[in-house]
Amino acid sequence: MNDISLSKRLKTVASFVQKGARVADIGSDHAYLPVYLIKNGTAQFAVAGEVNKGPFQAALKQISKFGFEHAIQPKLGNGLSVMEGESIDTVTIAGMGGPLIADILDEGKERLTTVKRLILQPNIAADRIRRWLIEDSWELLDEVILKEDGHIYEVLVAEKGNPKTLYGSSDVEKEIWLGPKLLREKSHIFMEKWKRELVQLEKIQQQLYVASESENMEARKREIDQKITWLKEVLL
């Protein structure tokens, strides 16, 4: 049988899929993750969801190449609509921006009533997902930060439950932005990411303080000032 190798970030996503899961992979990108999960005996069934015809056709070819038509259902549709008519207990969404992932979850949340686990890998703005999880009563179980090919990614794992379980400090906003578990662990990758971010925020701060004053501008200044203060506390 043909072999398949996943990127480090997708292997991290795959590591949180439970044995025997029925998975909906949203924005499946050639169905790499579903094929990997079926081939390794982790998932028993998967939907490979795509919103555009090109990636959908690529998923069809990939599934056929491995002979997994019996276990992987490719579907063309927007967001969680591809779960229609299927029994799904795990949703994976990887390789998109945090705001887009949060929008997909929010627009399709009526389809999440029977879903046990969410495994989400945003490329940027993971805080938008953490905020959505809190607002919709999903418990953040775990989070991982990793580096691959010069890019830093976060993977968030959630199940229905107490949305504040992982949040331990009095400053929840700070934890939402940085990640409650990641903030406690302060790995070298976490430190690298936020050192870079501090440099960028300080540049923005300088630009804002020479810009014309307005109510919106003042609010933006306060936001940037607060984030810089948080990062200096964490990094220094």
* Tally of domains within the chain: 2
The whole-angstrom distance between residue 140's C-alpha and the CA centroid of its chain comes to 12
CA gap 191, 81 in Å, rounded: 38
- CA distance readout (Å), 114 to 49, 90, 106: 18, 9, 15
pLDDT tens track, the chain, 236 positions? 456 789 999 999 999 999 999 999 999 989 999 999 999 999 999 999 999 999 899 999 999 999 999 999 999 999 999 999 999 999 999 999 999 999 999 999 999 999 999 999 999 999 999 999 999 999 999 999 999 999 999 999 999 999 988 998 778 999 999 999 999 999 999 999 999 999 999 999 998 888 777 777 888 899 999 999 999 999 98
Amino acid type, 10: L
159 and 194 assigned to the same domain: no
Q: Is residue 66 part of a domain?
A: yes
33 and 86 assigned to the same domain: yes
**This prediction's pTM:** 0.94
| CATH at residue 101 | 3.40.50.150
Q: Residue 221 belongs to what domain range? A: 189-235
Q: Is residue 21 part of a domain?
A: yes
CA gap 189, 193 in Å, rounded: 6
156 and 194 assigned to the same domain: no
133 and 21 assigned to the same domain: yes
151 exposure class (CB count in 10 Å sphere: 0-12, 13-18, 19+): exposed
